[in-house]
Amino acid sequence: MNGTIPQSIGQLSKLVTLLLDSNSWEGVLTEAHFSNLTRLETLWMDTTLKKSLSFNLSYGWIPPFSLISIQLQNCRVGPKFPLWLQYQSELEYIVLGSAGISDIVPGDWISKLSSQITDLDLSNNQFRGELPESLSFPEAEYIILSSNSLEGPLPLWFGSVTYLYLDKNLFSGPIPKKFGENMPNLGVLSLSGNFLNGSIPLSILKLEYLITLSVRDNELSGTLPDIWNEPQFYMGVLDLANNSFSGTIPKSIGNLRGLLFLKLADNHLEGELPSSLQNCEELIRLDLGGNNLSGYIPPWIGEKLPQLMILRLRSNLFYGEVPSRLCHLSLLHILDLAQNNLTGFIPTCLGNFTSLVYGNSTNMYPNYPEEMTIVAKGRELEYSSTLDYVNCIDLSQNRLTGGIPRQITSLSELGTLNLSMNHLTGSIPEKIGNLRWLETLDLSNNYLSGPIPQSISSLTSLAHFNLSHNNLVGRIPSGNQLQTLNDSSIYEGNPSLCGVPLPTKCPGDDTSDGQTPSDAGAEGDGDNEKDSKMFWFYVSIGPGFAVGFWGVCGTLLVKKTWRYAYFQFVDDIKDWIALMIALKVAALRRKIGLEQN
């Protein structure tokens, strides 16, 4: 449904439940919409069109109802936290996410309702200020305060809270040591995107029902505790990325049953990958990039983690060869091993990544708001909700040798291929144009030789392209997307390349009239085609003349009656023309004589 909500709805004096949510409402709601709703207990009016439905109620308005449940997602309720909401003392279910509120957090109001609240969602607003030192929610299941400007230390929480989201605020200081002791049912804890420091309290890590722990993007430090030695631990998401944790990866992490996401990127971790991680057979995301991890990349990753969809080990100290057993990961759609010390050949079995041939699967854990940095289109890009659609192979800045496997051209769904800054030799695969969705192709700073394949002009989605500093030869192909990448730097460092956009002319290019090499080449091709057409034109003149001449004159010589008729026709035409001229002359003379008189 769409359009505005009629004021007459406010006359339904016996209405108890009003559910108008998940529609495309717009317009303004006033006191008239609620004037006689004296028995109203449930009000859900959220709209799918963000901020298209506004509440224009006077600040001192006292509503005639006492609500138990309210949901105004995506409506414009603010900017001030409405006084009429503060009058609601019976509320149990409160959803005011993305409500355009910019005000001090109503801590006293929340405290008064805390004993009866089952769900509280104030996310994606601009609430500011500090929360009380402690909050008790004996009946609550969901507490969502994400994406606000709340500050100060984290309060102690008490009660039956199962889902606690405090991410993307301004909380600072250490996490209280007893933070998890009084929430025995806590299953999801998100503290990411704050300014928390210190270490992670063991009281959180020992929670029996905790399945998601996210503290990414903070200032936490210290070593990771090695405490998951008991078989009862079960965790789906462990996200500690972008902090300052040090030491080695605890071996006991491999005992976490059901682990789907392990994200320890951008810390100061060191040492080798513990072999116990091969016990996490359900892993679909493994992100350990931006650390000081070393050793060989374990081949068991390709054998023991068959569900893996993302493997990100970039910016570490790994050495040795890229294990060919990684090719067993048929669901893999992001392989990022860039900025290490890897040597040897690129495995020829990369074509086994069937998710990059037929399209990758969607996230099997959609409830976690994942974020990851991927280098694509020449820069670092932060992906979140669209990460499932990113298809990338990045092996850049290593010491890989040998050629580019031709099997890689079968990965038709690949979006980013970065093999730059290695020691690759040989030629660019002839069928590189089969990578129809390629947006980034970077093969720069290698020792590649031979011509640039003409099929590369079939890549119509290229946004970043770099073949500089190789040993490529011949004319640069043109057409399609390559015409828009008119930057000579993407080909520089290849002294034997010629053609647009380089200043070097190719042999046979006629540029005396200021034409570009590609124009000259195109005109040269046109001249050749024109010469060919003129040749056949002259060849056809002789037979054409003979057929035309003898087709007419030969007939007149053979057929006497036709000859007489033809010359009689010519005589008649001659007489008609002479008569017309005589009439025109006589008319002109009469006209001149009249004018003189």
Q: Which of 139-143, 202-206, 322-326, 542-546 has the lowest mean pLDDT?
A: 542-546
251, with CB counted inside 10 A (0-12, 13-18, 19+), is middle
Could you tell me the CA-to-CA distances from 405 to 348, 400, 402, 428, 539 in Å, in that order?
A: 5, 12, 9, 9, 51
Predicted pLDDT at 528:
47
What beta strand segments (E) does 215-304 contain?
219-223, 237-239, 244-247, 261-263, 268-271, 285-287, 292-296
Contact 418, 393 (CB under 8 A): yes
User: What's the whole-number mean pLDDT along residues 20-43?
Assistant: 93
Which tens digits make up the pLDDT trace of 492-505? Answer: 999 999 988 888 88
172 has a pLDDT exceeding 70:
yes
Which among 173, 214, 229 is positioned nearest to 196, based on CA atoms? 173
Contact 132, 111 (CB under 8 A): yes
Output the pLDDT for position 469: 96
Own/partner contacts of 542-550, CB < 8 Å, gap of 24 or more, are none
Q: What is the pLDDT of residue 515?
A: 47
Which pLDDT score, from 0 to 100, does residue 490 have? 92
Q: Which of 317, 337, 315, 341 is nearest to 326 (CA)?
A: 337
Residues 6 or more apart whose Cβ sits within 8 Å of residue 153? 130, 133, 171, 172, 173, 174, 176
In this structure, of 191-200, 355-364, 515-524, the range with the lowest mean pLDDT score is: 515-524
C-beta atoms surrounding 212 within 10 Å: 20
Q: Are residues 251 and 228 in contact, defined by beta-carbon separation less than 8 angstroms?
A: no
Confidence of residue 362 (pLDDT cuts 50, 70, 90): low
Structure tokens at 253: 């992490």
What are phi and psi for residue 143, nearest 5 degrees?
-130, 110
Of the listed ranges 176-190, 328-342, 395-409, 547-561, the least confidently predicted one is 547-561
| Residue of 90, 43, 80, 40 lying closest to 59 (CA atoms) | 80
Q: For the segment 247-266, what is each residue's pLDDT rounded down to a tens digit?
A: 999 999 998 888 999 999 99
Give the whole-number percent of the chain exceeding pLDDT 90. Answer: 61
- Give the span between the Cα atoms of 538 and 327, in whole angstroms: 63
Is the model's pLDDT at 338 over the cut of 60?
Answer: yes
Q: What is the pTM of this model?
A: 0.81
CA distances from residue 292 to 209, 271, 272, 288, 339 in whole angstroms, order as listed: 32, 7, 9, 10, 11
Give the whole-angstrom CA distance, residue 195 versus residue 452.
50
pLDDT higher than 70, residue 22? yes
Q: What is the pLDDT of residue 511?
A: 52
201: preceding bond cis by omega (within 30 degrees): no
Contact between 265 and 249 (Cβ < 8 Å): no
Greater confidence (483 vs 338) lies with 338
550 pLDDT higher than 70? no
Find where tokens 């910019």 sit: 102
Q: What average pLDDT does this structure show over 552-558?
A: 66
> CA-to-CA distance for 430 and 3, rounded, in angstroms?
56
Q: Give, as one character, the DSSP assignment of residue 363.
A: P
Q: pLDDT of 117-136, one tens digit each?
A: 999 999 999 999 999 888 99
Q: Among 186-200, 270-284, 470-484, where is mean pLDDT lowest? A: 470-484
Q: Let me know: does 381 contact 373? Beta carbons within 8 Å.
A: yes
How many residues appear in the chain? 597
Residue 595 pLDDT class (50, 70, 90 cuts): low
Spatial distance between the Cα atoms of 17 and 381, rounded to a whole number of angstroms: 45
Assess whether pLDDT exceeds 60 at residue 476: yes
Q: Are the beta carbons of 208 and 184 closer than 8 angstroms? A: yes
Phi and psi at residue 136, to the nearest 5°: -115, 125
The confidence score (pLDDT) of residue 593 equals 65
- Which phi and psi angles does 321 have, rounded to 5°? -85, 160
Q: How many CA atoms lie within 13 A of 433 on its CB side?
A: 15
Whose CA is closest to 580, among 572, 591, 590?
572
Decide if pLDDT at 512 tops 60: no
* Banded model confidence at residue 221, pLDDT cuts 50, 70, 90: very high
> Where are any strands of DSSP class E within 91-214?
93-95, 119-121, 128-130, 134-137, 142-144, 149-152, 156-159, 163-165, 170-174, 188-190, 195-198, 212-214
* pLDDT level of residue 340 (50, 70, 90 thresholds): very high
pLDDT digits (tens, 9 = 90+) for 323-334: 999 999 999 999
Q: Coil, strand or helix: which one is 435?
A: coil
**17 bridge partner residues:** 42
Banded pLDDT at 517 (limits 50, 70, 90): very low
Contact assessment for residue 334 and residue 389, using Cβ atoms and an 8 Å cutoff: no
Is residue 77 within 8 A of residue 102, CB to CB? The reply is: no
Do the beta carbons of residue 89 and residue 66 sit within 8 Å?
A: yes
**36 CA to centre of own chain:** 49
Q: What is the mean pLDDT of the chain?
A: 87
Q: Is the pLDDT of residue 222 over 90?
A: yes
